[in-house]
Structure 1
């Protein structure tokens, strides 16, 4: 989703806000490293040394590859450690340090016990008096059979005797759940708020956890995921909703990478309408290359372009990877990218014969309005709307990066009011 985001190396592609897994494991050794040792090894990119500083329990939980991936993400995303703050008493058995980096996007907590690294985790960044407010939604709609079952939330407006339209909402890249949240790294509740707006205007909605995410975590195929799986799932939801006698028409809405998924799904399932929010006009590989050009050093960027060139031809890259690219191009990630790069949003949108609404935000730092305009121009049935002051997570925000990113962890901040109004108008004007 963003230039500050990266790809995870496990089950599926995460182009998402940077998230760390917390491992707190405690050992009983009496001597060992200090925070200064950790800073020195980290800033010199000494992953082996850092791994050897960890408790046995933490080594067991992470494994060497997992440790290298975790540390590589930190180094690639945040840069070097510039300062620390001890938040424990001097004589405490467990010493905790807040770490500040060259790119202070998040606060990282380092835990040292008995001379060994016992934990590394990202601290949440509360933006309101009550801290992070994450919307929890009822599982009242499913697709498929256990264990490969997808879970979602169906929200209906007050009872009516007439059939009503329904919107299928598809989330963006990474472990984005049905409400547009990702653990503590992304807490927006934007989809939940949009669903409430639709219900208040007589429109039903279905939002769901994608395959491999949150409640749908077990719904993996051979423990892997490719974009075509997401497309098939969205198409199956449309088919299921079309058979439901409560609904007059099905509209597919996708956000960010979900916009590309929605377009591909619309080609298969022919919904009554299509809505693309913050969508790109190219393919995921091209988007990724543009993001990496702003974050990687020249040598790593050159290697990344070579790898992406291979993937675009459908070939896995088996050459040596640098520390930075190792975190981006694991075998499973490469498989996902090969699949995703077969889907070019604008080319596929040309083939759709249904009303289309493309919406971009003027303060979207990730997918600019130019991409939205180009996407809409691909189809004469598409209308384009640029909403002033709306950012990538559908909230009101300025262009200033730091202030813009604060909205990514403010689950109480309402979505842009014009967004709901225009979506409702589009749906009610569908034939």
Structure 2
């Protein structure tokens, strides 16, 4: 879910550099919060001190990053009530103006065309203050939880997760939760929202067990996430099912899958021609091919940005050779040099506004050629959906700007029913976004601003469906 480490670093540096209202008193610590694409928030601590030449030097700390990163400031200029900061190495700039009313610097950081507001003040910010998440359950829980580990021997990966079930002993139906794109922990934590934790809590309170686990290479799981494809993630899920069916508190005949976003793709792969899968729940999953999906996502994003239909069509044609190449059956050894050539041609034909934001090498380096991204672009749901015969539920929010509800749900339903699966439930939830939150602006950067993790109607609907299965 991250746009890139350097984007984070640059935005962070911006906020941290804000200074005080007078040039004689800006030394010391300043605290701010960086907001990113999905509404993720990171605390910033800016430490400033006199440099001995009448100016200032300093550093910023990012305590919420795993390694508590610290970066040295390159340029600090403070004149009157305006603070200017630069880090040439990472092409970062920041302008902040002192606001006497709030006793803060109110500033804007600019990097790669993105603007990010950052305010800095003297009051320390705790991690608990970053988000309000009223739906997040807190211990002690009225149900049983267990830290578990299981091994994908085929790929030499050890996966760590949490098994949750009702408190009373017994055999329960169980849901394996499969996270979306990008390295995710077991709670599928996005912008402070722990979607899978909230779902596991609701399921356990209503007679359903669940297993959620850290993606390979994330948290306590081993392996290399960035070298994996959706098929590799499917191997991990198959391993989890084999583990669950050996437990005495699980009904081995009712082990099902719940996949969110890309997790819906993984669920389709695992469930295809697999009688061991009791049911599938697709949350914001895809029915279109990966190649169709990228065109659709770009069009939605551009439309929300106010671009005309003619612009959207022209841009689609401009990018077509690149996406067609990535979605082709060619090997990566063939794709990479051809893709780089296309990107360089695209850059050279771009407007000057694009060239001001990044260099040609930046555009080449930022191109997504990860095994995960390529495997999604090549993915064709029909190949797998036509082989799924178990009960299948597909739900999407009507305000989802990442996976369009109508076209994807229609494609899923058609693929399943035309191939003889009569146990299909399709549902659109009005007013909900990609995370199934009741949204306002319904943009991706609103995810973190909303206090609601998931609309309560959704887990209720899912649980009722599971419990009524024969």
Fold shared by both chains (TM-score > 0.5): yes
Asked if residue 341 in structure 1 is aligned to residue 347 in structure 2, the reply is no
| Counterpart Cα distance in 1 of 2:163 and 2:115 | 34
Aligned partner of 2:367 in structure 1 is: 329
Match of 1:274 among 262, 280, 290: 280
Asked if residue 167 in structure 1 is aligned to residue 175 in structure 2, the reply is yes
Secondary structure class of the residue paired with 2:452: coil
Alpha carbons 1:198, 1:204 under 8 Å: kept:
yes
Aligned partner of 2:149 in structure 1 is: 142
Q: 1:228 to 1:96 in 2, by over 3 A?
A: farther
| Counterpart Cα distance in 2 of 1:143 and 1:194 | 22
Task: Please say which structure displays the higher CA radius of gyration.
Answer: 2
Aligned partner of 1:203 in structure 2 is: 208
Tell me how far 1:284 sits from its aligned partner.
3.1
Q: CA offsets, 1:62-97, max 9 Å, x none? A: xxxxx47xx7xxxxxxxxx8x9434699xxxxx976
- The alignment's C-alpha RMSD in Å is 4.4
Structure showing greater relative contact order (alpha-carbon pairs closer than 8 Å, 6 or more residues apart): 1
Q: CA offsets, 1:192-214, max 9 Å, x none? A: 11111111111000111212333
Q: CA offsets, 1:164-217, max 9 Å, x none? A: 1000011111233222214xxx2222211111111111100011121233333x
Aligned partner of 1:263 in structure 2 is: 268
Worse-superposed segment, 388-397 or 100-109: 100-109
Tell me how far 1:267 sits from its aligned partner.
1.9
Asked if residue 385 in structure 1 is aligned to residue 427 in structure 2, the reply is yes
Match of 1:415 among 424, 429, 454: 454
Q: 1:233 to 1:268 in 2, by over 3 A?
A: farther
Match of 2:464 among 420, 425, 429: 425
| Counterpart Cα distance in 2 of 1:7 and 1:263 | 29
More strand by share: 2
The alignment's TM-score, normalised by the length of structure 1, stands at 0.68
Tell me how far 1:276 sits from its aligned partner.
0.3
Pairs aligned (count): 360
**Structure 2: where are the runs of 5+ without partners?**
7-36, 43-61, 63-68, 121-126, 348-357
Aligned partner of 1:85 in structure 2 is: 96
Q: CA offsets, 1:120-143, max 9 Å, x none? A: xxx999564x89989899870222
Aligned partner of 1:289 in structure 2 is: 295
Alpha carbons 2:176, 2:257 under 8 Å: kept:
yes
| Counterpart Cα distance in 2 of 1:206 and 1:20 | 27
Tell me how far 1:310 sits from its aligned partner.
0.8
Secondary structure class of the residue paired with 1:379: helix
Q: 1:326 to 1:401 in 2, by over 3 A?
A: farther
| Counterpart Cα distance in 1 of 2:321 and 2:256 | 39
Asked if residue 152 in structure 1 is aligned to residue 194 in structure 2, the reply is no
Alpha carbons 2:137, 2:201 under 8 Å: kept:
no
Alignment of 1:113-262 (within 5 A): 126=130, 128=132, 140-144=147-151, 148-160=157-169, 162-182=170-190, 186-216=191-221, 218-220=222-224, 224-248=227-251, 249-262=254-267
Q: CA offsets, 1:25-60, max 9 Å, x none? A: 22688989998876xxxxxxxxxxx76x34xxxxxx
Tell me how far 1:20 sits from its aligned partner.
9.5
Secondary structure class of the residue paired with 1:276: strand
Alpha carbons 1:177, 1:214 under 8 Å: kept:
yes
Alpha carbons 2:174, 2:255 under 8 Å: kept:
yes
Aligned partner of 1:58 in structure 2 is: none
Aligned partner of 2:409 in structure 1 is: 372
The alignment's TM-score, normalised by the length of structure 2, stands at 0.63
